[in-house]
A and B are shown apart, each in its own frame.
Chain A
Amino acid sequence: ETGVTQTPRHLVMGMTNKKSLKCEQHLGHNAMYWYKQSAKKPLELMFVYSLEERVENNSVPSRFSPECPNSSHLFLHLHTLQPEDSALYLCASSQDLQGRYGYTFGSGTRLTVV
């Protein structure tokens, strides 16, 4: 484990379901990120949080709702998703917003929307 843990690893949900993805880091990092990775757009940035404050929402549909209750935890709440939302969702953290020491990624949640 690299210090960034994501759960669940796999998730299958219907279009009317509500589910949440969880990310946890104990690296003492101050910034956390959600990325969507699909065949069409690898590593597409969704949200950026710094010290629990959202600093960027990269034009993500409102059916994706992030939450950062503290600097160690990041959630992505999902509701009424579409099949095209099926992808690998990666959480990452970095020491600071500039990511000058690189990002540490979690293993991802493989999401399938049916």
Chain B
Amino acid sequence: GENVEQHPSTLSVQEGDSAVIKCTYSDSASNYFPWYKQELGKRPQLIIDIRSNVGEKKDQRIAVTLNKTAKHFSLHITETQPEDSAVYFCAATHFGNEKLTFGTGTRLTIIP
């Protein structure tokens, strides 16, 4: 089955700087990679996703890159703001699979 590893487990970034969270996956058949943000005491929410037919996707200050050869994908947050503080989860699956496999999460803290 799929195994997703996520690093780092915690990350502190000065406000305005960039943050990068990295994930690797094991199943070469995986072709859908979403990222979820979970603020303290709240539910996980989908913030961005990428499919295997593209290498990069951007949405304002958030971008995700995918390297299928190396089987890793990354979340990039630029110009970080205090409201970016949260736990971020990556996940992977392939069409025909029954579930998403989540990474273990990264606690991002933005330092004012």
Contact = CB atoms under 8 A, between A and B. Distances in A.
Contacts of B46: 102-104
B102 A48 contact: no
B44 A105 contact: yes
Contact of B43 (A42, A48, A105): A105
B96 A43 contact: no
A44 B36 CA distance: 15
Please classify the interface of chain B as helix (H, G, I), strand (E, B), loop, or mixed, using the class held by over half of its residues: strand
A105 B32 contact: no
B45 A105 contact: yes
Contacts of A45: 99
Contacts, number: 57
B45 A43 contact: no
Interface in B66-105: 87, 89, 93-100, 102, 104-105
A108 B43 contact: yes
B62 to A, nearest CB: 14
Interface residues of A, number: 22
Interface residues of B, number: 22
Given A2-B43, A98-B32, A107-B42, A42 B99 contact: no
Interface string A46-64: 0010100001100000000
Contact of A100 (B32, B43, B102, B105): B32
Interface string A71-100: 000000000000000000010000001111
Interface of A: 2, 4, 33, 42-43, 45, 48, 50, 55-56, 90, 97-100, 102-108
5 contacts: A42-B87, A42-B105, A43-B105, A98-B95, A99-B93
Interface of B: 32, 34, 36, 42-46, 49, 87, 89, 93-100, 102, 104-105
Given A56-B99, A99-B99, 9 more contacts: A42-B89, A55-B98, A90-B44, A98-B93, A99-B93, A99-B100, A100-B93, A103-B36, A105-B43
